Amino acid sequence: MVRFTCKDETSAAAFDQLVRETIEAIRQHEPGTIVYASHRVDGRPLQRIFYELYQDRAAFDAHEQTEHTKRFLSAREHLLDSVEVDWLELQSGKGTAS
């Protein structure tokens, strides 16, 4: 899970466009990415949360090496005030293999 805080409303709009483009590439080119969802945070217009679920660590590593992910990581820098990453370990759930 990743929490992003955008610098301002203009940056948030640009970030959202970058996310749309990136997620479309993920849909087309990453079969090992099970879930990749971007969320707005109610009452916090500059925050976004990504929830990502990968088939395994190899799928995550492959995701990190794609050109669209590298572009996203580079292009987001000037749009954000902060990035917080939490690594989650799936214990159980509906719609998951575990």
Q: Is the pLDDT of residue 98 over 70?
A: no
Q: Under CATH, what is the fold of the domain 2-85?
A: Alpha-Beta Plaits (3.30.70)
Mean pLDDT of the chain: 95
Of 51, 54, 50, give the one whose Cα is nearest residue 34: 54
4-25: b (≥16 Cβ within 10 Å) or e? bbbeeeebbebbeeebeebbee
Report the candidate in 35, 37, 38 with the shortest Cα–Cα distance to residue 6.
38
Return the higher-pLDDT residue of 19 and 89.
19
For the chain, the structural domain boundaries read 2-85
Q: What are residue 83's DSSP bridge partners?
A: 4
Note the pLDDT of residue 52.
Answer: 93
Q: Are 21 and 58 in contact (CB under 8 A)?
A: no
Give the pLDDT score at 97: 66
Asked whether the whole model's pTM tops 0.85, one would answer yes
